[in-house]
Amino acid sequence: MFKKILIANRGEIACRVIATARKMGIATVAVYSEADKEARHVQLADEAVLIGPAPSRESYLVADKIIAACKATGAEAVHPGYGFLSENEEFAARCEQEGIAFIGPKAHSIAAMGDKIASKKLANEAQVNTIPGYNDAIDTAEKAVEIAKGIGYPVMIKASAGGGGKGLRVAFNDKEAFEGFTSCRNEARNSFGDDRVFIEKYVLEPRHIEIQILGDSHGNVLYLNERECSIQRRHQKVIEEAPSPFISEATRKAMGEQAVALAKAVKYQSAGTVEFVVGKDQDFYFLEMNTRLQVEHPVTECITGLDLVEQMIRVAAGEKLTFAQADVKRNGWAIECRINAEDPFRNFLPSTGRLVRFQTPATSMTQGDTGNLLGVRVDTGVQEGGEIPMFYDSMIAKLIVHGKDRHEAIAKMREALNGFVIRGISSNIPFQAALLAHPQFVSGQFNTGFIAEHYSKGFRAEDVPHDDADFLLALAAFVRRKSRERAAGMSGQLPGYDVKVATDAVVVELGAEGQHRYVPVHVDESTSRPGVAVVKVNGNTYALESHSRLNDICIRGTVNGQPFIAQVERGTFKNPLALQVQHNGTRIEALVMSPRLAELHRLMPYKAPPDLSRFVLSPMPGLLAEVSVQVGQKVQAGERVAVIEAMKMENALFAAQDGVVKKVLASKGESLAVDQVIVEFE
């Protein structure tokens, strides 16, 4: 067994590998860029080596620097994690040449599966179901239309070297096939330096289901059940679960056996994933093989009780698998939510900056420990006070729950999301909460088009209806009541000016453009004691009990005897005196005041925000990559004004109306804050 390994990655996956290595008694070496010098993975590792500037092309993607770090620290093996160099066959081969063990498959396996056209041909030879299509590179748009007609619409036009949803179009007619081929080819050339494009049948109501496989250097290959990954936004997975609520035992077995056949065909050693697209009649077709550890591997660890990182390390050290296919378990149900630094209410734009507050829900499962299951686990590479840099992907953490069945797993996940506190940046937690509450998700009746179908116009606050909206008002009144009780108990108050605690109040739910809601509430005086109150709202009674401190964001307690976790914060963007209450993805801002004060508040005029239509503002923090206009230039509506880069994404900003540029207030290469002015029009 290795004595020391280097992790050629960053963030949560680097921390994940360190956890297992520590359990196995293996020393670890972290590598880091200048942007990551204070990162959590650097602090957790036994040693750390600086490998270059913040951009990944100058640090994490430079194989020479990784090899040099291995040699300098005496690391015998390198774990690539996922992303960066994890599926780079040249890097795997180079490690082998330098006498460094690559904790992953052999270079020939990576090469065979890395090319989508070549991998599909290999799958056909291994008698794996493949989608009907044309598997050779297509030269012209006219030829693409001819092939698409022959296969039958709808078809998928895909870049051979594609990945992450880039270089992929769906065409339903000749016009879309012609245009899709051209744009797909251009995107592939720009993104991957490889413009080969192929076409295959598009499966209606498709589900994305993948099989986890594990092979050793002794010819043994097993499948470790499946993962359901159909909840996707723009081809990026959002929620994953294991097992799938859709496929039958027979389909599971058939998919598993075909995945094993493909892995054996390329002499696969290590953990890997064979992805399938599954139709509504459970007809399944090979999509691609990922020759690395997947982001969503924890859900498989939960239901099988296997530490996949440990298995990868043992296989790379030449050990034989110690269990057979019949020994692979499938216990309970696991769900993973990807918690990303993005603002769901602003079209999921990246949100970078400092984590002012970062408090995870209570956990009972940890990385590398598969002995304690049926609980909550958080995989993260960040900590409170840390920075979310603009140079890398947007994932802050992975929240994983394991329940006895799917119903229990969903309930655990909803509760865990309620207790996940992130401040300083925006996160997609409200969106995740909405998905988990959606009837179609709960019933398991969904496919890869679920998010596009139900959130086609983006995500809005009203897309998260609370099953008991009056509870949020009652909680605001409860917290305000406890605050007043505490103030009333303070000594030394002047006679006639002491704080009085009233039983009647009005909760003012703050709305857009001054459209507030005024709701009378009553607190039953006879039941009020420290940490306890009975609040009546709209004829509903809420017996609340909580002994959380008044300055805690996370409030834990019971309502009518049932446990709850919610977030209550004082001071909001709209009003420093308001309370922000958040539960099950729904967030309200409210003032709690006396009936007389509420009467006067109704008379307050609405102050409209300033007119910003003359300005182009940065919708997110990021790097200003391009300013496309100059002072005095006439600009038409829809014309590009600037381009901002953040978290591997390029976002173009366009003029909302015709105008003449008066000032350019930011320059290329500048780091921008949210709502910073870039251009002003006359």
Please write down the HEC assignment for all residues of 202-248: CCCCCEEEEEEEEECCCCCEEEEEEEEEEEEECCEEEEEEECCCCCC
> Does residue 126 contact residue 141 with C-beta atoms inside 8 Å?
no
Residue 669: φ, ψ to 5°: 90, -5
Instruction: Return the closest-CA partner of residue 520 out of 579, 482, 473.
Output: 473
| 288 has catalytic annotation | yes
Instruction: Return the closest-CA partner of residue 2 out of 319, 216, 370.
Output: 319
Catalytic hit among 187, 288, 342, 589: 288
653-to-151, 234, 344, 442, 531 alpha-carbon distances in Å: 38, 20, 18, 37, 50
What gap in Å lies between CA 70 and CA 638, rounded to an integer? 51
Please write down the HEC assignment for all residues of 572-627: CCCCCCCEEEEECCEEEEEEEECHHHHHHHHCCCCCCCCCCCCEEECCCCEEEEEE
> Does residue 436 contact residue 413 with C-beta atoms inside 8 Å?
yes
Instruction: Return the closest-CA partner of residue 412 out of 378, 370, 369.
Output: 378
Instruction: Return the closest-CA partner of residue 505 out of 575, 572, 590, 587.
Output: 590
Helix (H, G, I), strand (E, B) or coil at 405: coil
DSSP 8-class letter at 458: -
Instruction: Return the closest-CA partner of residue 581 out of 445, 429, 474.
Output: 474
What gap in Å lies between CA 616 and CA 652, rounded to an integer? 11
Please tell me the chain's helix, strand, coil percentages from 3-state DSSP, rounded to the nearest 5.
30, 30, 40
Beta strand 376-380 with 357-359 is unpaired
- Dihedral angle computed from the Cα positions of residues 212, 214, 220 and 223, in that order, rounded to the nearest 10 degrees: -20
Angle between helices 406-418 and 429-437 (to 10 degrees): 150
Helix (H, G, I), strand (E, B) or coil at 429: helix
Q: What angle do CA 112, 96, 120 make, to 5 degrees?
A: 5
> Does residue 506 contact residue 519 with C-beta atoms inside 8 Å?
yes
What tokens were used for 184? 């797909």
> Does residue 221 contact residue 324 with C-beta atoms inside 8 Å?
no
Helix (H, G, I), strand (E, B) or coil at 290: strand
What gap in Å lies between CA 291 and CA 312, rounded to an integer? 12
Q: Give me the active site residues, please.
A: 288
